[in-house]
Amino acid sequence: MSNTPHDLHAEFPDCTAALHRLKLEDTHFRKLADEYHEVNDEIHRSDAEITPVSDEHAEELKKRRLALLDEISGMVTAAPA
């Protein structure tokens, strides 16, 4: 598990098995999860002032993370238990 805030396992603590299964079996989900991780990591580096970004870019990143999270959430919720 990551120490980065908003990691998928932190967002869905009760769905660890579903996250793992979807990453293994669904290429679209895996692409979404990978992009989510990249965007989330960039936001974390920006918030920690490791990598400076403009306010506009930071806002775009946060909107993209939210859109990805919405799509991922729908897939996790629909996944069989």
Domain boundaries, the chain: 27-78
Model confidence pLDDT, tens digit, residues 5-18: 889 999 999 999 99
Q: What is the pLDDT of residue 1?
A: 44
Model confidence at 59, pLDDT cuts 50, 70, 90, reads very high
| Of the candidates 35, 31, 13, the residue with the CA atom closest to the CA atom of residue 22 | 31
The larger pLDDT score, comparing residue 4 to residue 70, is at 70
Q: Which of 2-11, 23-32, 46-55 has the lowest mean pLDDT?
A: 2-11
- pTM here is 0.90
Backbone angles phi, psi at 70, to 5 degrees: -60, -45
